[in-house]
Structure 1
Amino acid sequence: MEVFQRNSMMNNSVMAGSEKFAHVTRGFLTVGQFFILLAQSSYFYLPIGVVGISGNLIILITYHRIGLSSSINVSYFALAMSDLFNVLSNTWMALCFVPGFTKFANRYFQVGSVVSVTGAWTCECFTRITAYITAFISIERCVSVVLPMKVSTIFTRRRTCIVLAVIYTVNLALGSYGFVLIRFTKFWSPRYNKTIITTQRMTSPTLEYFYEIVLFFQSFPAVLIPLVTVIVCTVFLSVTLTRSATWRRSFQDQNGGTGSSEGKLENKSKISKELQLAKTVVIVAIVFIVCSSPNAINVLVASSVPEYRGSGTYGNMYRFVNFATLILSGRVNNQMADSLADGQDMGSK
Structure 2
Amino acid sequence: MTNEESFRLYASPTIMTTDIASTGKPKPIDINTIRPVLSAEDYIALITFLSYAIPVVAIIGIASNFFVIVICKKIGGSETINISYMALGISDLMASVIRLWGALCFAFIVTNTKLPFEPRSLSVPTSFFPGQGFDKTTAFITAFIALERCLCVQFPLHVKRIVTKRKTLFAIVIIYLFGFGPSNLSFIGFPFKWVFSSVQNRTILAAIPLETPLRYIISRGLLAYYGTILHFTALIIVWICTIFLAVGMNKMAMTRQEYFKHSISKEDKQKELRVIKAVFLLAVTYLACSTPSAATLLVPHFEPEFTSSKGLKRISIVCHLSSALLTQMNSSANFFILLYVGSKYRQVFLGLFGKKSLGFKNVPEQ
TM-score, normalization: structure 2? Answer: 0.76
Q: Deviations over 1:287-324 (max 9, x none)?
A: 3322222122222333344233x335634323322222
| Correspondence for 1:123 | 131
| Correspondence for 1:201 | 209
Q: Secondary structure at the match of 2:208?
A: strand
Q: 1:72 to 1:277 in 2, by over 3 A?
A: closer
Q: Given the alignment, which residue of 159, 163, 171 partners 1:151?
A: 159
Q: 1:65 to 1:284 in 2, by over 3 A?
A: closer
- For residues 56 and 215 of structure 2, what CA distance do their matches in structure 1 show? 38
Alignment of 1:244 onto 2:242: no
Give structure 2 stretches of 5+ with no counterpart: 10-31, 345-364
Q: Secondary structure at the match of 2:169?
A: helix
Letter in 1 for 2:329: R
Q: Is the 8 A contact 2:38 2:315 kept in 1?
A: yes
- For residues 6 and 177 of structure 2, what CA distance do their matches in structure 1 show? 35
Structural mapping, 1:1-349, within 5 Å = 9=5, 28-29=37-38, 33-34=42-43, 36-104=45-113, 106-250=114-258, 264-266=263-265, 268-308=266-306, 310-311=307-308, 314-332=312-330, 335-336=333-334, 339=337, 342=341
Q: 1:35 to 1:117 in 2, by over 3 A?
A: farther
Q: 1:60 to 1:151 in 2, by over 3 A?
A: same
Q: Is the 8 A contact 2:98 2:131 kept in 1?
A: yes
- For residues 242 and 236 of structure 2, what CA distance do their matches in structure 1 show? 10
Q: Secondary structure at the match of 1:186?
A: strand
Q: Secondary structure at the match of 1:198?
A: strand
Higher mean C-alpha deviation, range 173-182 or range 322-331:
322-331
Following superposition, the deviation at residue 179 of structure 1 comes to 0.3
Higher mean C-alpha deviation, range 32-41 or range 148-157:
32-41
TM-score, normalization: structure 1? Answer: 0.80
- For residues 146 and 55 of structure 1, what CA distance do their matches in structure 2 show? 31
Following superposition, the deviation at residue 187 of structure 1 comes to 1.8
Q: 1:272 to 1:178 in 2, by over 3 A?
A: same
Higher mean C-alpha deviation, range 222-231 or range 272-281:
272-281
Following superposition, the deviation at residue 24 of structure 1 comes to 6.8
- For residues 321 and 258 of structure 2, what CA distance do their matches in structure 1 show? 50
Q: Secondary structure at the match of 2:139?
A: helix
- For residues 107 and 213 of structure 2, what CA distance do their matches in structure 1 show? 37
Q: Secondary structure at the match of 1:291?
A: helix
Letter in 2 for 1:9: E
Percent of aligned pairs sharing the same letter: 27
Q: Deviations over 1:162-187 (max 9, x none)?
A: 11111111223310110011111122
Letter in 2 for 1:306: P
Following superposition, the deviation at residue 96 of structure 1 comes to 2.5
Following superposition, the deviation at residue 146 of structure 1 comes to 0.6
Letter in 1 for 2:47: L
Q: 1:207 to 1:52 in 2, by over 3 A?
A: closer
Following superposition, the deviation at residue 77 of structure 1 comes to 1.2
Q: 1:24 to 1:56 in 2, by over 3 A?
A: farther
Q: 1:323 to 1:238 in 2, by over 3 A?
A: same
- For residues 100 and 208 of structure 1, what CA distance do their matches in structure 2 show? 31
Q: 1:32 to 1:195 in 2, by over 3 A?
A: farther
Number of residues of Structure 1 aligned to a counterpart in Structure 2: 320
Letter in 2 for 1:113: S
Q: Is the 8 A contact 2:227 2:298 kept in 1?
A: yes
- For residues 115 and 42 of structure 2, what CA distance do their matches in structure 1 show? 23
| Correspondence for 2:17 | none
Letter in 2 for 1:184: F
